[in-house]
Chain A
């Protein structure tokens, strides 16, 4: 420990934000700060994770998160291998526990896992000694997404504590919503959810959030409007009657934003359904921080990789030059 050292105590894995403290989360965000600059360089590579072997195990389709992790890993000089479900042994019927054991037998350092079942990341983490980073498990958590959202909010407002954040849309099926709820609450924000009652999960208030009835109320109340993607398959499930109806009742339009406070910002985890949950003039408008979110995603993931590899928050700046 250095004089300013903090025993972060993150443990071996990053499975979710539910088990972290506000101090730990803020420390991860602090660690992301020095990593932001790497992506702005002409030569975007530092030796922080030289010699680290990382497997990106994406057993559910993903473009943005996988690419963001890959950039973070490559810019930190890690050696990476990508596995996706199509054509892999998983598709041939291999169980997750066997996949885990086989990866481990190849002596890897870390696994970044995306999986369609809630709990799959923890399942993997409990069975292998490598570090496991959850890149989204079912409807449970997507911690690095929430961390990049938190960083984006902090960038704009200077602090997360005391801000009012309303998450709008399909809370029921959203791991992004769950991770954000935990992260925001632990960092001291006021959190509300808004959406069709069919897509608000049972007992959500017991998690410490309030429910807001209409999108108009939500917009008036909040500093941060977090718009979730409406999965098109929700129509088949009968949760909402049609996309048009959803847009009419819950769509975020510039007209509706007329009642927002001056500082209010709009976030979206992507990919967007323009004209469904968010209108184009909002997505591309002055309140939108959707692209800064994507940029922050790489920095936050670098920070998480660095910390789980044993790095210390206060030494991140030095590590960029010397390796960890």
Chain B
């Protein structure tokens, strides 16, 4: 029977039900039927041995760049979704800064359908949910037809990569999106303050002679957006929070009850601006890697739940685009296939965040925050789940990535925690052994 099997003897971690114990998971026709001990299942049902592995809800990444349409040499919907599955993600949100951008229903529909088409052909990966442009052409001027975009499958709006500068437009977006119950995702950056900067402003940039992006470039926009969220009651989600000031602003705003949320990227929790030394373009991203104080604040923000979820900002670039002068190399790194292991090493291994909580930040929390399906193993829910070995040590070799691109600062890292199998709707989309 397709989409039916028994996962036997795994350590089930399901933050949505508070479960962290050895259980069997019975999946039938793509849905979870039973999570209990001693399940034998119907006669003849395929049995997947999960002893020694963690069985958890599939990971959700609300910030991914798939590059299609327009830059298929970097990534396609197919390769990005498969890269996600290899990293343990069962749902990813595709950003709209493609060429053309996802600012009309046809483009949004294309992204959704393209992922489904490959899945039907047996080459699918994670579920792909398109995020639509907030403004036409990502130009920051005229609001897109958000109603039509949502009908076509959009789950949120953003001008990611092109921060929404006009406060009046941001206000209207935070008001208008309430009709559809979707958030506005903001890449919080004041481009005038960033002024062509290519890395964090500070002594490291000064020594390298590279133009700096000050913390205030992020913090001033976050502060403004918080006040606009409070004014309107809309939900603003701050993407890839990188500064201690932004973490603090979000903390205070949430205490006041504002509908503000934020995400932490693995690289902002694992690395600092020092990684840029030697003009390493694989450490060039926006927002940039910051100081140690910022890194610790972002990390603590995730631990405290001020930043509710982990998101990778997976940003593939072709090697020759990164193989150039630092000023001219594009911003961004891939992250889907290293996120879980980097977070385990950064947060769980030192004992600062239990594995249970990390799974929550990477699955249950983003589902709850964004109001989408997933992040749970409750009976009746879709069988989006993963099996991983939390203790397996491995070395990151970008040559083995499923992604089309290799631009990572984690190449050669010794990491812990390896995804063994990723199941989407009861269908295995990634099998390490297979």
Contact = CB atoms under 8 A, between A and B. Distances in A.
B325 A96 contact: yes
B161 to A, nearest CB: 22
B324 A122 contact: no
B203 A119 contact: no
B195 to A, nearest CB: 8
B180 interface: no
A149 interface: no
* Interface residues on chain B, size class: 20 to 34
A175 B209 contact: yes
Interface string A198-227: 000111101100000000000000000000
A206 B273 CA distance: 15
A139 interface: yes
Contacts of B214: 202
A301 interface: no
B208 interface: yes
B397 interface: no
A115 B328 CA distance: 13
Given A118-B279, A138-B209, A207 B203 contact: yes
A206 B205 CA distance: 12
B325 A123 contact: yes
A312 interface: no
B212 interface: yes
B279 A122 contact: yes
A203 B203 contact: yes
Contacts of A203: 201-206
Interface in A159-211: 175, 178, 201-204, 206-207
Contact of B326 (A118, A141, A202, A207): A118
B325 A120 contact: yes
Given A123-B279, A141-B209, A204 B203 contact: yes
A97 B326 contact: no
B278 A206 contact: no
A302 B219 CA distance: 50
A125 to B, nearest CB: 11
Contact of B207 (A96, A97, A123, A207): A207
Interface centre among A140, A202, A207 (most CB of B within 10 A): A202
Interface string B271-293: 00000001100000000000000
B329 to A, nearest CB: 10
Given A138-B209, A201-B205, A206-B203, 18 more contacts: A95-B324, A115-B325, A116-B327, A119-B210, A119-B325, A120-B325, A122-B278, A122-B279, A139-B209, A202-B201, A202-B202, A202-B203, A202-B205, A203-B201, A203-B205, A203-B206, A204-B206, A207-B203
9 contacts: A116-B327, A119-B327, A122-B278, A140-B209, A141-B209, A201-B205, A201-B212, A202-B203, A202-B214
Interface of B: 201-212, 214, 278-279, 320, 323-328
Interface of A: 18, 95-97, 115-120, 122-123, 137-141, 175, 178, 201-204, 206-207
Name the 3 nearest CB pairs between A and B, nearest first: A203-B203, A140-B209, A119-B279
